[in-house]
Amino acid sequence: MPKLTIEQLDLAGQRVFIRADFNVPLTGGEVADDTRLRAVVPTIQYALKAGAAVVLASHLGRPQGKIAREYSLRPVADRLEALLGQRVELVPDCVGPETLARARSLKPGETLLLENLRFHPEEEANDDGFARELAALADCYVDDAFAAAHRAHASIVAITRYVQPAAAGLLMQQELSALGRILQSPERPLVAILGGAKVSDKLALVEHLLGRVDALLVGGGMAFTFLLALGHAVGRSLVEADCVETARAALNAARRRGVRLVVPLDTVVAASVDSASGRAVGIREIPPDQMGLDIGPRTCETFAAMMRTAQTVVWNGPMGVFEKTPFAAGTLRVARAVAEAPAFSVVGGGDTIAALAEAGVTERIGYVSTAGGAFLEFLEGRRLPGFEALTEAPV
């Protein structure tokens, strides 16, 4: 880690501002999935045991810079209390005189949670004045929100100008270590699996990975743009016409580099995503009035066979319309294949992580990232503002 880490801070008697990512799904006023909360608990506990008072901050949803009760962090505070086994007070705002007074009165071992940062438009604007107010709440700063590290927001970037030192939390370190292991020194063969609906969302990633992987397996809706680039008729399947030439260029680049870029051999077709069932056909047999909605069994076996010889696997994106039961089989089969592979595996993205859970294989994955957008941008080789803003580690 070229950046300062929480273990390098003297936290005794300090108020530490921990920027977390508690952007979790809520159902009926309660946290529906506490994965991201549990991921940050070790950092919070580390700070508390080191004698610090903890000020927690996060966003939740997209309230568009306005107070919206449905985006309150109250359910998060309640769940954190259960996870930490101690009181977590939620203050009604993240800035202001009352919040400042409460933060300054915190005693070592106590935890305070600020209300949703995005209730203020200044957060997403990376506003300097807003960042100063946040910085006044603490003596040092820890960023443990890797899932938001690709956002140049006030609580992630501008705040570090006014509260130092600014260090990486334990979760941030784990994320960067796992992803760095893929990009910097992977055990080979390195196999990447990409899915999802739009190839345009992944083109930069495809181009970046082609210089690093031994094989790239493509599924999901994005595969049909590649199939069209290869000259196949794809019926009514999802295609991004303006990306066909770029997909063709990627296929050619893979050949030049000796990288196996594998597209589906068969697909599960139906009239629409709402169809009650589908049937598997070869990619040369897609009916003109139907669409491909999942990878077929031959493709599943091909992908699984390649993973059986892999030493490193990275996966992002479902293989089909995973949320619809008739078209979930391919994604679940790939999830099991990744879990069974004799490889170090890293998986990221909300739908992909949900597939691991549904397949019952989450615990058998090397590392499950809490991030979506930041996960992709890191793999694309882009600099993450949240990481760049942290204090350089002493040499």
CATH code for position 142: 3.40.50.1260
pLDDT digits (tens, 9 = 90+) for 302-360: 999 999 999 999 999 999 999 999 999 999 999 999 999 999 999 998 889 999 999 99
Burial class (CB in 10 A: 0-12, 13-18, 19+), 373: middle
pLDDT at 1: 58
Burial class (CB in 10 A: 0-12, 13-18, 19+), 142: buried
Q: Is residue 180 part of a domain?
A: no
Q: Is residue 163 part of a domain?
A: yes
113 and 254 co-located in one domain: no
Tell me which residue of 131, 120, 148, 122 sits closest to 40, measured CA to CA. Answer: 148
Query: What is the number of domains present in the chain?
Result: 2
Domain boundary among 106, 138, 173: 173
111 and 255 co-located in one domain: no
> What average pLDDT does the structure give for the chain?
95
261 and 153 co-located in one domain: no
Place of tokens 């992908």: 303
366 and 311 co-located in one domain: yes
Q: How many helices (H) and strands (E) does the chain have?
A: 14, 17
Q: Give yes or no: 19 in active site.
A: no
Task: Find the mean pLDDT for residues 255-265.
Answer: 97
263 and 158 co-located in one domain: no
Q: Is residue 391 part of a domain?
A: no
210 and 287 co-located in one domain: yes
148 and 240 co-located in one domain: no
What's the CA gap between 175 and 43, in Å, rounded? Answer: 13
Q: Give yes or no: 260 in active site.
A: no
Choice among 61, 65, 366, 373 that is catalytic: 373
114 and 199 co-located in one domain: no
Q: Give yes or no: 85 in active site.
A: no
Domain boundary among 121, 143, 173: 173
Q: Is residue 385 part of a domain?
A: no
Q: Give yes or no: 373 in active site.
A: yes
63 and 117 co-located in one domain: yes
Choice among 3, 15, 19, 36 that is catalytic: 36
On the question of pLDDT at 4 being above 80, the answer is yes
Q: Is residue 167 part of a domain?
A: yes
Choice among 181, 198, 298, 364 that is catalytic: 198
- The helix (H) or strand (E) run that includes residue 131 is helix 128-135
117 and 210 co-located in one domain: no
On the question of pLDDT at 152 being above 90, the answer is yes
Q: Is residue 333 part of a domain?
A: yes
pLDDT digits (tens, 9 = 90+) for 155-207: 999 999 999 999 999 999 999 988 888 888 899 999 999 999 888 888 888 98
206 and 164 co-located in one domain: no
On the question of pLDDT at 266 being above 70, the answer is yes
87 and 215 co-located in one domain: no
Burial class (CB in 10 A: 0-12, 13-18, 19+), 108: middle
Choice among 350, 366, 381, 382 that is catalytic: 350
Domain boundary among 133, 149, 173: 173
Structural domain containing residue 287:
186-379
Q: What is the pTM of this model?
A: 0.88
**Which residues lie closer than 8 Å to 293 by C-beta, 6 or more apart?**
267, 268, 269, 270, 273, 275, 278, 320, 321, 324, 326, 327
Residues β-bridged to residue 211 = none
On the question of pLDDT at 101 being above 70, the answer is yes
On the question of pLDDT at 395 being above 80, the answer is no
Q: Is residue 388 part of a domain?
A: no
From the centroid of its chain, how far is CA 107? 34
Q: Is residue 392 part of a domain?
A: no
Residues β-bridged to residue 347 = 315, 368
